[in-house]
Every structure is written in structure tokens, then in C-alpha cells.
A and B are shown apart, each in its own frame.
Chain A
């Protein structure tokens, strides 16, 4: 804080150190075993690239990466947009209406995935929709949006309503007020919501399994159904995913951040 004290420094460094160790231990494990010489996830036996060869030779595995990333990106964009607009709208609505919508909104979060999956399966079957990429995307938007709203609502509650009212009085439309006044104030919350939505979509198995069809499958479906035999090419796939995402994050986030930071003085506390 104002005067960085020693104990705090040591404490924060150890805390961060240990948590990174905790978070990355399995990741290191996954990467190491993707180069394993034999088909095992508990014993190492030499170095080989055979699992990478197997992965790249398998169109189903490569397709699943494309599907997973496409669905996750689309679902994140759409649900962040939908969730932000809805949350802002809700925050300006009456309390009982807001509460009612919030309760319904929480249903997909707290329903076990299997229930959500089956209920959507029943819905799509009743409507005779042929299942595939689109139904999977719809389902992902359905369970991602509540997380976005959940992330943004608490932040909205702490905002000063007078600012928005002032903007409206000065002739802004609600949409303008939203983007000029509210959104800038809740940007970190939107970012968090989008991050959670992306993670949820990326990881989902049960719901995706029930609403997909036509051979469209994401990484989770692939992993769950392939896990009968230990297959280190799944590790190779995971290593590839982490590589793609790290590179994407570097490009999208850090590079412009660094470029931008050079021009403006660093934020200090």
C-alpha cells in the first residue's frame, strides 16, 4: 500500500508463489506426459513425439479443437453482450421484477448440468430441431449468460445512479447512457464475466453432449468418450490448446498493453 512493508512483501510473494505452483503442477504434468514414450499417464519412459503425430493425423481431434474454440468465442461474445445489456436494464428496473429475473437467471447455474442437458434435449426434440453446431451454440449461450449477469450485477449495485440519470436528463438515449456512462465504470466486471463465460463454455461436457449431433463435438466430448483407454494424445491436445491460448492472449492482451503503457506513465498505488 502506501509504505510497502517487508512482512507483507514476503507474505504476498510466497502466497502467489504457492498458488502458481498449485495451479501449474497438473499443467506441467500434462505437458510432460504428452512427450511420454509409452502409453501411460503414470510412468515415464523416454521421450517421443508419437502422441503429437497421432493427434495431427486424427481429423476428429483437430475438428474438436476448432469446434471448441469457435463455440467458446461465439458464446462468450454473444452472452457478454446479452448479459451486459440485460444486467444494466435490470439494475434500473423495479426491485421485485429484478429479483424475479435474477432468480430465473440463476437456474442454469445451480441446476446440475445433467438436468439442464436433458431439459434442453427435451426442448429441441419437441421442436424437432436437428441437433448440431447451432443447438450447441444456443445451449452454450444459455448457460454462459447467467454467469455474465452474476458477475456484473454486484458491480452495478455499487454505482452512483445519479450519473446515469444526469446523462438521461441531458438527452442521452438509454443506449447512449449505457455505453458512455455505465459500461466504462463496470468494464472489469464485464471482463470477468466474459472470462468466466469462456471458461464455462470451454470446459462443458454434459450439456454439450446432449444438445449436439451430426458428429459435431468439442474437446470435452472427445475426452470423455476417449478416456476408456489412456491416450496421451489427449495430453498432446491439451498442450496444443494451452499453447494456442497463451499465444492468443499474448497477442490480444499483453502486446497492445505494453505498447500503450509506454506512452502513459505507470499506474502507481
Chain B
């Protein structure tokens, strides 16, 4: 008896201590921020390793607020949590996910009066189909999908000539990393075959499935996700990989043997943007935060730290100028105005169809 009551006592005591811990961190009221923005707590939900380390501490200091950050490792995981009713003030999803959130009425319009820095953004990232007047979203980073290859092992001419077809070139069997994402995989297969990556034609999707099966069966690819960044940076492993341009910029910066190419067949251009969910608790502060991120200084610091292309016009121009930090980096500035490049649309039927087909491609190997 003694033992159990002691243990219960101990656990209750511990519970109270940790309760104190949690509250001590965020309990102090800062009335100035509450008066001005209605809240002094901002909850942010964004992909991991996607923001410079100094951004949040600086924002907190300047506005006298507390920012709570949570990370997700895929748009879909974020969606599952937000849909289940978790409350955040700012999310940073991708274009197609913004489309889906909008169709579910899960976002609220931004306060354009508060977004005074919107004029600093590059016209290349504004007024896109997923949110035509930027009513709901402000771009955060953007880029495309392309091929990173080791110039010591692979002739640039071959890559530029063959584009995505190089992933069926038997010379490189066993030497390739394939990005393990159904959206990107089907995008590539559809582009190789000359179709739109947003096709709703089931025959075209089935042909793309056949193409992926052949790639899977003949090329012995390693299906990876973000491990590819380190693997290509060391350069000692495989020679060709599918990589997002922002990550490719990091690889190229650290390993001069690596090069990047966005194939002529066209590719996916994507935009990750800041949005405010409909159930946000501090929308006023959220607008203020979005406005803060758009400023020149913050954008500059952010793009330098993360390596993805900035939506801020001035920053983008400086970074990609010949003497800029990423001026000689082939991966930094996404190609724009190329008519074969496309943005993803969210289509529920196609989404679940390719999701299932992709599992079948990967599981096919051991058959």
C-alpha cells in the first residue's frame, strides 16, 4: 500500500512540475502586443529546416510576442492534422495543397491593408492559378524539379539531350536516385511521354505507369527522399538524382562537381506559400508575420540560409546576378515563362489513383 501511494504521489508531483514548466514558458502576458494584434502568441506550422534560425527570434523581439513552431514533413501530414481541427495561425503548404485547403473552405482571406510589403514580391510568383489574386496566400519560396548529376561521371551533353529519358538509359542502371513521391514520379513519366502532368486521361496515366514500371524494372533505382541531399553532396555514391531546385542549390554550393538541369520536356514549377487557416486564433498577428517575412532583410537572410529561391524581387535579382551568392548556381533561379512547365492541380480522383499505382511500381521490383 505504501509503495503505491508513494508512487501515485510522486507521479502527481512530477505532473505538476512539468505543468509548471509548460506554463512558465508562455504564460507571461505582454499587453502591448495583445492590444495591437489581439494576441501575443503566434502558432506556425511549416516544413522542417525551411526557415533561417534567426527569423523567429528576431520577430519575437521586434513584436514582443511568442512564436510557437511546429514542423511537418509532408503537405499531406499537415493536412491530416489541420483537418482534424488542430489550430494554427500560419501554415506554409504547397500550391496544390492550398488549392485543396481552399476547396474545403479551410483558409481565410488575408488582410491586404496589413500586407504593405506585397509590392516587393516578384511578378513571377504572383497571381497564379491556385490563388488568382493572392487573396489567400503569399509566396514563401518557389522552385522546380530537375536532375542533379555528377559532371565527373556523366556528360552534361547527355543529360541535356536525354532529359528525363536518362532515367531509362541502361548506361546508368544502378547509378540513380529516384525521389520517392508519387506526384513527382508521375509528373516525370507524363512529361517524358509528352502529356500534361495534370492530365485527367486515364490512358495517359496508365502509360505513365508503364513507363515507371519499366524504369523500376530495368534501372535498379534507389527510391529516396531527403537523404538524397547529403548523398549527392558527398558525391561518392550514385551519379544522377531527381532533386527539388532549392535542395539542388545547396548540393551545388557544396560540391562543385555537381550540376543541375531542368529538362526540356518541361517540369513542375511549385510555390510554397503562407496562408492563414480559417480557425486561426491570432489572424491579425498572422498577417503581421506574413508582412514581416516579405521584407527585403528577412527574405535575404532566409534565402541565404535555406537556399531556395526568394519571392522578394530585389533579393531574387541580387542573389541570381552573376556576382550574387547564387549567381553561378544553376539550380537557384527557377526557369520561368517556359510553356511546358506546369503547376500542380489538386484532383482527388487522380490523386488516389496515382498514389495506388505508385505503390504498385515500387512493390513490383521483388516480384
Complex contact flag A–B (Cβ < 8 Å): yes
Question: Is B203's CB within 8 Å of the partner chain A?
Answer: no
CA distance A60 to B250 in the complex (A): 24
Is there contact, CB below 8 Å, between B49 and A175?
no
Is there contact, CB below 8 Å, between A225 and B234?
no
CA distance A128 to B81 in the complex (A): 13
**Chain B facing A: main interface SS:** helix
Chain B residue nearest in CB terms to A121: B84
**What chain B residues lie within 8 Å of A183 (beta carbons)?**
3
CA distance A133 to B23 in the complex (A): 11
> How many Å from the CB of A164 to the closest CB on chain B?
16
Chain A residue nearest in CB terms to B83: A125
Is there contact, CB below 8 Å, between B7 and A133?
no
Is there contact, CB below 8 Å, between A175 and B22?
no
Is there contact, CB below 8 Å, between B11 and A74?
yes
Is there contact, CB below 8 Å, between A179 and B48?
no
> How many Å from the CB of B175 to the closest CB on chain A?
17
> Which chain A residues in 79-129 approach chain B with CB under 8 Å?
81, 85, 118, 121-122, 125, 128
If A40-B234, A81-B4, A227-B226 touch, whether A215 touches B43 (CB-CB below 8 Å) is yes
Chain A residue nearest in CB terms to B46: A225
Question: Is B230's CB within 8 Å of the partner chain A?
Answer: yes
Instruction: List the count of A-B residue pairs having beta carbons below 8 Å apart.
Output: 100
Is there contact, CB below 8 Å, between B4 and A228?
no
> Which chain B residues in 249-281 approach chain A with CB under 8 Å?
250, 254
**What chain B residues lie within 8 Å of A214 (beta carbons)?**
43, 68
Is there contact, CB below 8 Å, between B8 and A228?
no
What 1/0 mask marks residues of chain A from 208 to 232 whose CB sits below 8 Å from any chain B CB? 0110011111000110111111110
> Which chain A residues in 19-63 approach chain B with CB under 8 Å?
39-43, 58, 60, 63
Chain B residue nearest in CB terms to A215: B68
Is there contact, CB below 8 Å, between B81 and A225?
no
CA distance A124 to B233 in the complex (A): 42
Chain B residue nearest in CB terms to A76: B11
Question: Is A66's CB within 8 Å of the partner chain B?
Answer: yes
If A42-B236, A74-B18, A228-B47 touch, whether A175 touches B1 (CB-CB below 8 Å) is yes
Question: Is A176's CB within 8 Å of the partner chain B?
Answer: yes
CA distance A263 to B242 in the complex (A): 66
Chain B residue nearest in CB terms to A43: B234
> How many Å from the CB of B73 to the closest CB on chain A?
5
If A66-B21, A70-B14, A215-B70 touch, whether A179 touches B47 (CB-CB below 8 Å) is no
Is there contact, CB below 8 Å, between B18 and A215?
no
Is there contact, CB below 8 Å, between B49 and A228?
yes
Is there contact, CB below 8 Å, between A118 and B80?
yes
What 1/0 mask marks residues of chain A from 173 to 214 whose CB sits below 8 Å from any chain B CB? 001100100010000000000000000000000000110011
**What chain B residues lie within 8 Å of A228 (beta carbons)?**
47-50, 73, 226, 229, 247
Q: How many residues in B have their beta carbons less than 8 Å from beta carbons of A?
A: 42
If A118-B80, A225-B72, A228-B47 touch, whether A179 touches B11 (CB-CB below 8 Å) is no
Question: Is A150's CB within 8 Å of the partner chain B?
Answer: no
**What chain A residues lie within 8 Å of B25 (beta carbons)?**
63
CA distance A224 to B85 in the complex (A): 22
Is there contact, CB below 8 Å, between B53 and A58?
yes
Is there contact, CB below 8 Å, between A179 and B68?
no
B2, B4, B48 — which one has the most chain A CB atoms within 10 A of its CB? B48
B19, B43, B77, B86 — which one has the most chain A CB atoms within 10 A of its CB? B86
> How many Å from the CB of A114 to the closest CB on chain B?
10
**What chain A residues lie within 8 Å of B233 (beta carbons)?**
40, 230
Chain B residue nearest in CB terms to A217: B70
Is there contact, CB below 8 Å, between B226 and A229?
yes
Is there contact, CB below 8 Å, between B230 and A40?
yes
CA distance A214 to B41 in the complex (A): 10
Question: Is B55's CB within 8 Å of the partner chain A?
Answer: no
**What chain B residues lie within 8 Å of A122 (beta carbons)?**
84
Identify B3's interface contact among A40, A179, A210, A225, CB under 8 A: A179
**What chain A residues lie within 8 Å of B85 (beta carbons)?**
125, 128
If A176-B1, A179-B4 touch, whether A77 touches B10 (CB-CB below 8 Å) is yes
CA distance A264 to B73 in the complex (A): 55
> How many Å from the CB of B347 to the closest CB on chain A?
24
CA distance A231 to B229 in the complex (A): 12
Is there contact, CB below 8 Å, between A60 and B21?
no
Question: Is A168's CB within 8 Å of the partner chain B?
Answer: no
Is there contact, CB below 8 Å, between B229 and A81?
no
Chain A residue nearest in CB terms to B70: A215
Question: Is A73's CB within 8 Å of the partner chain B?
Answer: yes
> Which chain B residues in 32-64 approach chain A with CB under 8 Å?
43, 47-50, 53
Nearest 8 pairs of A and B residues by beta carbon: A225-B48, A225-B71, A215-B68, A230-B230, A228-B49, A228-B226, A229-B49, A125-B84
